[in-house]
Structure 1
């Protein structure tokens, strides 16, 4: 750094400001410092910086499944906020396995990340209490933490599901099936509650044969849809609990002659180009990620207020699949 300062004809503090992106340097001075850095091949010593400041300028992101399209925009938004704060993002996937989640989180803490954004898979996050007490800022996203009080950013799964089912009821449906994710998952449970609330609001009974929660693999979803559509009291409409379920149901319905109304939770690529285009309840994963990351860096900047829970709204996108009326004989 001394060589850079001498070549640029400035003081060490000025070089430090340029290297760390701090204000107070004129454009001409910054240009001279940058030219000296390039000429000398200077690289900032992050190890020394970490020792001085006690921060690593890195954060961890633990997702459910990196391959799920829902998490792409969320991850990108967290990365953009981290970059704006001069921080590196390290991410990994829990594969919906609580043990894997804990392993990843503690591995990131061992590498001294400054903070964590976590999509939780487990139902007990007390293992994080020592890390949070040691100063690792932590925000949960998409689902809240379990058995600890922590910041969380969620979508309105209950309200979105209630709106979706009310939309099907408004188009004349009385027998509506719900196929969702595993019941231990917070979002799946909330969407089931929203489904039941909409049916109750309309004074409609729910036959338990119309409800199926479990793994979202195609075989299980296909079997559940078939049972509901071909049972003794077949449903005339389906509400899908997430994008993976919706895609499988679209394939199931493509092989049937009689149209079945469908509303899915989560938008997905090409949903608007199918025939019929798929009506969905859309959440904004990028906004979820951005809000969670902003909350995290506010904590890292010294925010010491009580843990907060932010619930972001969803919106119904009407495209055609959810607007089929029930058959005349239903």
Structure 2
């Protein structure tokens, strides 16, 4: 546990989730992910090459620097005073979680859709997806947003919490650095198919278990909501998740599709090139804008479930 007891880590996780819920990621405050992104770009500018070996060295350097710098901050402050170490851990773990940010990004798309403003909706959905958005229809905008929320439940909630549980802020930051590497260089295009290969594969590895936890949590939540269907969510995972090109993203995406009775996936455009993604779920109805709110409700439900689990862990520890 990197010198922290399970009790201490559980309290830090509870506090970090509270910080994210209330504060999120204020733009005026320096964010570690921005620094990690600048580090990745700097290394790329001096080290880029069509080589898997260079890509492996990229993740080794970025992850080592991320973990070492986080450890120096947390344990250095811990040495000065235990509470300073706890506060540093809470803040750093909170920066790896993005519940509030993900919710706000989805609502930023939903609001103009609600008022019939497709132009703004296309602009805002372009902030959270990599596909071409200039000519998306309303249904395509909704689909893109729901897919993003579904997939990012893993990246923004479950994975950082799991790795923070295993190793406090240093391990949570290792995960966030890996995820940032994947988002910056983990593409299969001509530029990054070799250089970004290791980053993409390591991100897949770290998300493998959290993605399956996420699918299970979505099913559980769906059984307790009148708007969702848990059995359909479970069946959708079994039927569709393996068809997704990602070994992990298909699980939450198919689970949400099944829970809502909608179909996700299909045709997207990337740089003017058509990409056909496997379709997730059976379309019992058409997508409509409130599906964005439904995906947010699932995100909220999982957040509450995680918080409840953390608090139960604290309760069990004491009693």
Query: Which gives a bigger RCO, structure 1 or 2 (Cα 8 Å, sep 6+)?
Result: 2
Give the TM interval when normalised to the shorter protein.
Answer: under 0.3
Higher alpha-carbon Rg: 1
Higher fraction of strand: 1
Q: TM-score, normalised by structure 1?
A: 0.25
Q: TM-score, normalised by structure 2?
A: 0.26
